[in-house]
Amino acid sequence: MRSLILQVMTRGLTPLLLLFSVYLLLRGHNSPGGGFAGGLIASSVLVLFALVFGVQETRKALRVSPLSLLVSGLAIAVLSGLVGWFEGGDFLQAWWYGREVEIIHHFGTPLLFDLGVYLTVLGAMLTMVLTLIEEA
């Protein structure tokens, strides 16, 4: 698309919406939100960016391939499940860090799992949609 208004608005709103997706990620392990909702918001923003500026510009802005985001997200999610197992509990049993962390309150494996889901959703959506845009 070559709409100047859409280009300016997309360039201005992209960082704010990506920050909102990170907010949803960080708040989600204690409240509604989390990795899935945050990943959908982030992928929607980047798909809009791809529609406005093109797929090549989006891939250049990402600096990492969507497929590697997907794979690393799956690895983080599985590793977060193994922590509880190695601590003597069950797979995906929550393990919490002893002290509260300023921004995210309680740090533990649920946040790591949410991060893995966030990256998996982001990578999967971008892989599918960017491929479809390139084919069209």
9 contact partners, CB below 8 Å, separation of at least 6:
none
Cβ contacts of residue 86 below 8 Å, gap of 6+?
none
Q: How far apart are CA 130 and CA 128, in angstroms?
A: 6
* Residues 11/92, Cβ–Cβ less than 8 Å: no
pLDDT given at position 44: 96
Average pLDDT on 15-26 reads 93
Locate the DSSP E strands across 80-129.
96-101, 105-108
pLDDT tens track for 68-123: 999 999 999 999 988 888 878 888 887 777 666 555 566 778 888 999 999 999 99
Give the burial string for 65-79 (b: 16+ CB within 10 Å, else e).
ebeebbebbbebbee
pTM (2 d.p.): 0.88
Q: What are phi and psi of 2, to 5 degrees?
A: -120, 30
Write the pLDDT tens digit of every residue in 27-83: 876 677 789 999 999 999 999 999 999 999 999 999 999 999 999 999 999 999 888
Q: Check whether 1 has a pLDDT greater than 80.
A: no
Neighbours of 24 (CB within 10 A): 23
Could you tell me the residue ranges of all domains in the chain? 4-135
Instruction: Enter the tokens of residue 38.
Output: 């945050």
Q: How is residue 51 written in tokens? A: 């529609």
